[in-house]
Structure 1
Amino acid sequence: MKKQAAAVFTFVLAALFAAPGFAAPETYVVDPTHTYPRFEYSHFGYSNQIQRFNKTSGTIVVDRAARTGSVHISIDAKSVDTGYALFDEHIQGEDYFDTAKYPTITYKSTAVKFDGDKPVAVEGLLTVKGVTRPVTLKVTSFHSMPHPMLKKDAIGANAVAKIKRSEFNAGKNAPHVSDEVTLTIAVEALKQ
């Protein structure tokens, strides 16, 4: 009887430790050389302009078994890159990013939604120019595997959301320059 009880106990213990629900969360550090938030807007209806930020940092925590996670991204607003230095200066002014007062843009998740073991949406708070608003990022792709060159576990994703500049006190020249802006972020991160 004691042998059977010990065998059952060992089996239950092994099953508990093997259960996917007990997998530990994994923390990834954003790779700044492969992470570029971009924003797109209509310029007088002539064309859609796409600009980016060159300096991004942050962490991403993923627990695929438990279907939970978190995202914390910091963007250096002064790293805005339009491809034209004079325009970079212009949109760092008070009417737009006001980088003298607000040098950092942040995004902090409040929830990560999963489909199976893959994140499909991130709900969170975007802060631009000292204004914080809820923004949901739709994850359009997610990939996880060991990095072939760095020999570390890595993740990558693309995500998109639409916001209104005016909601962040940056709506000058609307509607000629569209109030609606499409945000996209291509992110890669390496496991700590």
Structure 2
Amino acid sequence: MKSSLIALALGATLSASAFAAPESYVLDSSHSFSRFAYSHFGYSTQLSRFDKTSGTVVFDKEARTGAVDVTIDMKSVNTGFPVFNEHIQGADFLDTAKYPTATFKSTKVVFEGDKPSKVEGNLTIKGITKPVTLTVTSFQAMPHPMLKKDAIGANATTVIKRTEFNAGKYAPHVGDDVTITIALEAIKQ
């Protein structure tokens, strides 16, 4: 009888794990931003951001799997200077008239323990797609204290060469290496 109870309890535990489903989250646009940084003639590191970032995250803590799909509105570029915002949207840089969005779509999420540490995927800017790896520098999964829903948050970063995305005017004097950071918060649906 005792062995039957143990087998039944073990079977219930295994079936609960087997049926644990991935959970879908939608980015909170008021707390999700993509930023970029580059060297300006070696004088300084310029920091700018895109004010509109949207997307979804699928997260399965038990299975240690996930997926990330992010869209960046390139017309929402915010350098802190309106004239430069317009300049950087030109054909030599972002060409937002032809390519209004950039996307990142994951192909693999790598976990260390129960948290993601890297997200491999494809970054598309100006119609050019390149594989990149985002390094996750922080991650949190917990109930949102104000919304009373499950939420996740993360910061992840990668470095790209802007010349590889046909945005290389003034390189190498204006740095070719661009650090992209995605800060996101997402709410379970």
TM-score range, shorter chain: over 0.9
Aligned partners of 1:16, 1:5: CA distance in 2, in Å?
16
1:6-85 matched pairs, under 5 angstroms = 7=5, 10-19=8-17, 21-85=18-82
**TM-score (structure 1 length as normaliser):** 0.94
1:103 aligns with 2:100: yes
1:140 aligns with 2:124: no
CA contact (8 A) 1:142 1:155 kept: yes
Tell me, what secondary structure is at the counterpart of 1:182? strand
1:158-177 matched pairs, under 5 angstroms = 158-177=155-174
Aligned partners of 1:157, 1:170: CA distance in 2, in Å?
27
Deviation at 1:139, TM superposition (A): 0.1
Question: What residue number does 1:90 align with?
Answer: 87
Sequence identity percentage? 64
2:120 to 114, 120, 123: 123
Which blocks of at least 5 consecutive residues in structure 2 are unaligned?
Answer: none
CA-atom RMSD, angstroms?
1.5
How many residues end up aligned between the 2 structures?
A: 189
| Equivalent position amino acid for 1:14 in 2 | A
Deviations 1:131-159 (A, max 9, x none): 00001000000001111111111110011
Tell me, what secondary structure is at the counterpart of 2:75? helix
| Equivalent position amino acid for 1:190 in 2 | I
CA contact (8 A) 1:35 1:187 kept: yes
Runs of 4+ in 1 over 4 A off after TM superposition: 3-9
Deviation at 1:17, TM superposition (A): 2.8
